[in-house]
């Protein structure tokens, strides 16, 4: 009842705001606008799409790297619901992670280290603000204007750990034209396959307008997204897996002079999403199996757990807020941009990592493990740069970057045993048991610059470099006894060289060589948990040398881009969960070799019909030397007798294997083929679209115990517009594929988190 009142109140408040002005399209659930564009604007050519991949506004066709730019309208047409869903419209992009800890992979370059303090190798920027925690990848954003996915190392201009690429999210700027967008979704998971039927509601609103004519404009956006869950708890048959997201963002645009623009922004995100960590034991592979009185699920979208009175059963609670100030000043010689930002994140998660309803003997044996972690993180960022205008044949960009991050991580286990504490012998440890308490402070400084020369009207030469230094101060009080700390500094030089030649006004060819860098880890905290092999060994930084050649073709009604890339990847960091309570070790691999092709297109056949899509083919992505990898094996520790195990003996747990020969194996989360295509019809009154995305087989662990077979996902929508309203229908995951989005391998089991099942619904949009 409270949820229905909230949805109604949000819609009523937005629709009662009265402004004069023209209609604007924006604001469907999550990252999509209120509706697809009212009428395809054939006066705007596809070759005029602009991006900011080189820290200046340029046409996509003029940038000599592989970029997929997806507009808000395209996101709506494809049924994209959150930033993690953009993998359905961007080939070569996949996501992993657990709960709110997201881990994107671009062209197979990814990190399996998802804990705070260990940043991902694919950088995320929202309105130019670096997101080290990347928790907003799993949040709903109601006002996205465009998403750019930059493939390949971006070590020069976006260098903060952008070894595999960068995801740039641009939200809508406040407008001096009064605008209201409201979107309401009422859908249902159909209960197809092994999933449960469940309602799904979402509401979004975006309001913008002038506060002081020609001087101050403001915008506010927000939304809610709720479902009681489409999972089944095996032991009781009840429906579980609530997902609830709320968010709000406010912006203030000040234009004190014709050449000056100041944007002050603030956001708040709160997610309570236990449904995202209620994992399913893959084919019933849980350490609980073998104990009497346990319940072990084996189907997708089925789960179970032990109630934990200390940590309130299964939960994922995220709170993220931040403020930023962006100042842009246009001068005769170029543009100065300064971005100052602060962010605070609290991420808490409670989980039964055995994925089953365990018995008391299983809990006492520590084969059934309940696990809780809490991460508190504070980030401060300053980035100031100058992008010059053309001086003769030259133009350039220079900048300075500062980043300061503090992270405190706490891990506990055994909370479910708390009620038994008074009955246990005195030599038993006190529950819940603290297994990790560590802090990481990172301070990073960088200076960067890039020079562009156009010796002829057709030839463009680019050379750039970034000089970075990063200091980590790590403190561990548990399990290191009594106390340990370590300071470690990482320095890097990441250059980029490009050459582009315009064969004709429509066709250009380019070649780019660049180096990407991702900093290492200290041996004290090794931020998931301290153990390494050998113990407390620092983890070396990653380095990726990339060569790319490509062709770009662009006309007002057709764009097509083709590129080939070759990666020499050194010291890749891999993690594996091998110990009690999610104990993680992090290893450097030997060299990795990767190469492949990228293709994307955007075609406007008529004023009503259009299509766009892409394909990434990576025939080789393998470890050239990884002889002593560590992984979780399928071998299990024996019972002393059937179903009988002494306390803490861990009978039935899966044993780590420390001598895995991974040389020659394919990388994790690096499908050979990923592709997508969207076809659109829009006559200004009626619109319809369908999106098909495909991925070949994906490996999720070094022993390939739980692979994701090849799959295809289909989404579709249609709508009718009248006045300032649009009413439509939609269907997502119409093929009802249970796709493994993320996995957890540990001594407690092999767990999978699956994509949402088939969903259908209706949507109502209002734009003013």
Three-state SS letters, 92-121: CEEEEEECCEEEEEECCECCCCCCCCCCCC
Q: What is the pLDDT of residue 99?
A: 66
Among 255, 294, 277, 224, smallest CA distance to 30 is for 224
Most confident option among 310-324, 326-340, 742-756: 326-340
Report how far residue 69's alpha carbon sits from residue 49's, in angstroms, rounded to the nearest whole number: 8
- Counting residues of the chain whose pLDDT is more than 90, the rounded percentage is 56
Q: Across the chain, what does the average pLDDT equal?
A: 85
* 6: pLDDT strictly greater than 60: no
- Residue 312 binned pLDDT confidence (cut-offs 50, 70, 90): low
* 360: pLDDT strictly greater than 80: yes
* 191: pLDDT strictly greater than 90: yes
Q: What is the pLDDT of residue 313?
A: 56
Average pLDDT over residues 563-577: 88
Report how far residue 355's alpha carbon sits from residue 368's, in angstroms, rounded to the nearest whole number: 9
Structural element, H or E, at residue 15:
helix 2-15
Average pLDDT over residues 673-689: 95
Q: What is the pLDDT of residue 255?
A: 97
Average pLDDT over residues 504-533: 74
> What tens digit of pLDDT does each residue of 159-180 get?
777 899 999 999 999 999 999 9
3-state secondary structure of 639: coil
Which residue is it, tokens 């609290």?
A: 346
Q: Mean pLDDT lowest for which of 5-19, 171-185, 539-553? A: 5-19
Q: What is the pLDDT of residue 37?
A: 38
* CA separation, residue 320 to residues 138, 159, 411, 620 (Å): 12, 24, 20, 38
| Residue ranges covered by each domain of the chain | 2-461+479-767
Q: Mean pLDDT lowest for which of 365-379, 430-444, 447-461, 477-491? A: 477-491
Q: Residue 725's CB: how many other CB atoms inside 10 A?
A: 16
Tokens linked to 466: 């970034």
Q: What is the pLDDT of residue 707?
A: 95
Length of the chain: 768
Pairing of strands 609-623, 673-682: antiparallel
Exposure string of 525-546, with b = 16+ CB inside 10 Å and e = fewer, is bbbbbbbbeeebbbbebbbbeb
Q: What is the pLDDT of residue 742?
A: 84
* 424: pLDDT strictly greater than 90: no
Q: Is the dihedral of CA 298, 301, 307, 313 positive or negative?
A: positive
Among 630, 654, 609, smallest CA distance to 750 is for 654
Are the beta carbons of 34 and 767 closer than 8 angstroms?
yes
- Residue 25 binned pLDDT confidence (cut-offs 50, 70, 90): very low
Which residue is it, tokens 């972690």?
A: 373
Average pLDDT over residues 664-668: 93
The dihedrals phi and psi of 632, each to the nearest 5 degrees, come to -90, 125
3-state secondary structure of 420: helix
Structural element, H or E, at residue 3:
helix 2-15
* 32: pLDDT strictly greater than 50: no
DSSP per residue, 540-602 = PPEEEEEEEEEEEEEETTEEEEEEEEEEEEES-EEEEEEEGGGEEEEEE---EEEEEEEEEEE
Q: In what order do the strands lie in the sheet with 144-151?
A: 66-71, 144-151, 165-171, 122-126, 129-130
Of 313 and 412, more confident: 412
Which residue is it, tokens 């250059």?
A: 495
Q: What is the pLDDT of residue 377?
A: 92
Q: What is the pLDDT of residue 52?
A: 84
Q: What is the pLDDT of residue 454?
A: 96
CA atoms within 13 A on the CB side of 613: 16
* 491: pLDDT strictly greater than 70: yes
Burial class of residue 312 in the structure, from the number of CB atoms within 10 Å of its CB (0-12 exposed, 13-18 middle, 19+ buried):
middle
Q: What is the pLDDT of residue 480?
A: 56
> What tens digit of pLDDT does each residue of 700-745 get?
989 999 999 999 999 999 999 999 999 999 999 999 999 998 888 8
* CA separation, residue 208 to residues 18, 29, 255, 257, 305 (Å): 11, 18, 16, 21, 45
Which residue is it, tokens 């295809």?
A: 712
Tokens linked to 197: 């039927």
Q: What is the pLDDT of residue 97?
A: 66
Are the beta carbons of 26 and 34 closer than 8 angstroms?
yes
Of 268 and 160, more confident: 268
Q: Which fold has domain 2-461+479-767?
A: Maltoporin; Chain A (2.40.170)
Are the beta carbons of 761 and 186 closer than 8 angstroms?
yes
Report how far residue 372's alpha carbon sits from residue 417's, in angstroms, rounded to the nearest whole number: 13
Among 697, 699, 695, 696, smallest CA distance to 745 is for 699
Q: What is the pLDDT of residue 17?
A: 33
Average pLDDT over residues 389-413: 92
Average pLDDT over residues 213-223: 95
* 59: pLDDT strictly greater than 90: no
Are the beta carbons of 445 and 401 closer than 8 angstroms?
yes
Q: What is the pLDDT of residue 317?
A: 84
Report how far residue 576's alpha carbon sits from residue 632's, in angstroms, rounded to the nearest whole number: 7
Q: What is the pLDDT of residue 244?
A: 92
Q: Residue 12's CB: how many other CB atoms inside 10 A?
A: 10
Whether the pTM exceeds 0.75: the reply is yes
Q: What is the pLDDT of residue 151?
A: 93
Structural element, H or E, at residue 13:
helix 2-15
Q: What is the pLDDT of residue 657?
A: 85
Report how far residue 157's alpha carbon sits from residue 175's, in angstroms, rounded to the nearest whole number: 29
């Amino acid at each position: 009842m409270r949820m229905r009142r909230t949805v109604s109140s949000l819609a009523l408040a937005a629709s009662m705001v009265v402004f004069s002005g023209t209609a604007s399209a924006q604001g469907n659930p999550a990252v999509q606008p209120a509706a697809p564009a009212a009428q395809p604007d054939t006066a705007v050519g596809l070759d005029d799409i602009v991006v900011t991949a080189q820290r200046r506004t340029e046409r996509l066709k003029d940038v000599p790297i592989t970029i997929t730019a997806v507009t808000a309208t395209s996101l709506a047409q494809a049924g994209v619901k959150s930033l993690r869903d953009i993998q359905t419209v961007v080939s070569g992009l996949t996501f992993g992670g657990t709960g709110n800890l997201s881990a994107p992979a671009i062209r197979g370059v990814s990190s399996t280290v998802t804990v705070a303090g260990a940043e991902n190798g694919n950088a995320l920027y929202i309105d130019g603000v670096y997101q080290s925690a990347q928790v907003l990848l799993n949040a709903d954003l109601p006002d996205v204007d465009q998403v750019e996915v930059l493939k390949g190392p971006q070590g020069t201009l976006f260098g903060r750990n952008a070894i595999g690429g960068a995801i740039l999210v641009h939200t809508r700027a406040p407008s001096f034209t009064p605008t209201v967008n409201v979107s309401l979704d009422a859908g249902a998971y159909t209960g197809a396959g092994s999933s449960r039927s469940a309602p799904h509601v979402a509401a979004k609103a975006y309001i913008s307008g002038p506060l002081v004519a020609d001087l101050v404009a403001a915008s506010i956006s927000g939304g809610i997204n709720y479902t009681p869950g489409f999972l089944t708890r095996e032991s009781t048959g009840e429906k579980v897996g609530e997902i609830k997201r709320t968010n709000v963002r406010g912006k203030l645009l000040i234009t004190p002079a014709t050449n000056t623009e100041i944007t002050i922004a603030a956001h708040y995100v709160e997610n309570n999403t236990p449904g995202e960590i209620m994992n399913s034991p893959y084919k019933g592979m849980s350490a609980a199996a073998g104990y009497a009185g346990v319940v072990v699920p084996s189907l997708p979208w089925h789960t179970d757990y032990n109630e934990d009175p200390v940590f309130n059963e299964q939960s994922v609670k995220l709170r993220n807020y931040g403020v930023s100030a962006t100042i842009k000043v246009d001068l005769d010689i170029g543009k100065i941009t300064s971005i100052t930002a602060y962010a605070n994140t609290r991420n808490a998660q409670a989980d039964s990592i055995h994925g089953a309803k365990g018995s008391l003997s299983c809990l006492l044996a520590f084969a059934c493990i309940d696990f809780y972690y809490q991460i508190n993180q504070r980030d401060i960022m300053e980035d100031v740069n100058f992008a010059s205008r053309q001086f003769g044949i030259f133009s350039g960009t220079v900048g300075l970057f500062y980043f300061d991050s503090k992270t405190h991580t706490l891990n506990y286990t055994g909370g479910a045993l708390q009620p038994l504490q008074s009955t246990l012998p005195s030599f038993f440890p006190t529950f819940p048991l603290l297994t990790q308490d560590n802090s990481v402070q990172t301070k990073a400084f960088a200076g960067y610059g890039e020079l562009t020369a156009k010796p002829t009207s057709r030839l463009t030469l680019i050379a750039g470099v970034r000089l970075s230094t990063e200091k980590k101060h790590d403190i561990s009080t548990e399990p290191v006894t009594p106390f340990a700390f370590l300071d470690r500094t990482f320095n890097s030089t990441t250059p980029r060289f490009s050459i582009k030649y315009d064969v004709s006004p429509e066709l250009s060819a380019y070649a780019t060589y660049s180096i990407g860098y991702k900093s290492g880890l200290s041996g004290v905290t090794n931020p998931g948990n301290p153990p390494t092999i050998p113990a407390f060994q620092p983890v070396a930084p990653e380095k990726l040398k990339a060569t790319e050649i490509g062709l770009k073709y662009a006309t007002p009604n057709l764009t097509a881009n083709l590129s080939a890339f070759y990666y020499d990847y050194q010291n890749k960091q891999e993690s594996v969960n091998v110990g009690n309570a999610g104990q993680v070790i992090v290893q450097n691999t030997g060299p990795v070799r990767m190469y492949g092709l990228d293709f994307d297109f955007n075609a406007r056949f008529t004023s009503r019909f259009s299509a766009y899509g892409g394909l990434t083919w990576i025939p080789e992505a393998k470890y050239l030397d990884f002889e002593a990898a560590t992984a979780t094996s399928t071998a299990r520790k024996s019972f002393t007798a059937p179903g009988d195990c002494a306390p803490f003996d861990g009978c039935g747990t899966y044993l780590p294997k420390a001598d895995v020969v991974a040389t020659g194996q394919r990388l994790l989360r690096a499908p050979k083929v990923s592709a997508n295509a969207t076809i659109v019809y829009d006559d200004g009154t009626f619109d319809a679209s369908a999106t098909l995305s495909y991925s070949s087989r994906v490996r999720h662990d070094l022993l390939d115990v739980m692979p994701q077979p090849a799959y295809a996902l289909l989404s579709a929508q249609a709508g009718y517009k009248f006045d300032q309203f649009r009413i439509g229908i939609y269907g997502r995951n119409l093929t009802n594929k249970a796709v493994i989005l993320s996995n957890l391998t540990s001594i407690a089991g092999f767990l999978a988190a699956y994509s949402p099942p088939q969903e259908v619904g209706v949507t109502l949009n209002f734009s003013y």
